[in-house]
């Protein structure tokens, strides 16, 4: 029973203390930052996607310059025949497949990040942008479709090469 009285007295005296609170035991634990996700940009599949998307973007931009030269001041008229366009179409289709493969690879790893979703979206958007381009009836419509294609291809490069952000 004397232990009960001593414990009560200790608690009473501790609660009456008016000075700054002093911890009885101080534990300084290191702050552990969330793990930084690894970049996939140097992996062969993703490096191939970046290289192909970069080349196709350069081709799309070159096509836009060709359109500007061919149409000049006239903003009307039919579509312009673009050189080696079959190769461009084949390249876009192959890139779309690689983007989907990248999505599936990240899913297989259990990665639940933005890159996985973005690659899937790009793989679905590339054929749509290509259909817009092939269906364009005028040079200005071709130019607008090429501009959109160029932006999408640039996004394809940037999402892979951007440093990954830690999961929040």
Q: Domain map of the chain by residue range? A: 44-161
Mean pLDDT across 60-87: 85
- Give percent of the chain above pLDDT 70: 72
36: alpha, beta or left? (left if phi > 0; alpha if psi -120 to 50): beta
Task: Name residue, tokens 């259990």.
Answer: 110
Average pLDDT of the chain to the nearest whole number:
84
* pLDDT interval class at 77 (50, 70, 90): confident
Q: Are 60 and 146 in contact (CB under 8 A)?
A: yes
44-161 maps to CATH 1.10.3470? no
Q: At what angle do helices 85-108 and 139-161 cross, to 10 degrees?
A: 30
Q: Residue 167 is encoded by which pair of tokens?
A: 């999961």
Q: What pLDDT digit, counting tens, does each position of 108-167 carry? A: 988 767 899 999 999 999 999 999 999 999 999 999 999 999 999 999 999 999 987 666
Q: Residue 151 is encoded by which pair of tokens?
A: 């932006």
Mean pLDDT across 58-71: 92
């Amino acid at each position: 029973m004397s232990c009960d009285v001593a414990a009560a007295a200790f608690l009473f005296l501790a609660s009456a203390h008016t000075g700054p609170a002093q911890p009885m035991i101080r534990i300084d634990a290191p702050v552990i930052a969330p793990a930084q996700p690894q970049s996939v940009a140097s992996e062969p599949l993703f490096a191939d996607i970046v290289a192909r998307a970069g080349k196709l973007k350069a081709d799309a931009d070159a096509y836009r310059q060709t359109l500007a030269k061919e149409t000049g001041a006239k903003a009307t008229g039919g579509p312009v025949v673009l050189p080696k366009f079959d190769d461009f179409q084949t390249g876009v289709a192959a890139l779309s497949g690689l983007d989907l493969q990248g999505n599936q690879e990240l899913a297989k790893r259990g990665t639940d990040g933005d890159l996985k979703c973005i690659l899937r979206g790009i793989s679905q958007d590339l054929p749509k942008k290509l259909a817009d381009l092939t269906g364009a009836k005028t040079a200005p419509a071709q130019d607008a479709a090429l501009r959109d294609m160029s932006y999408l291809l640039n996004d394809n490069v940037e999402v892979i090469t951007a440093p990954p952000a830690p999961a929040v």
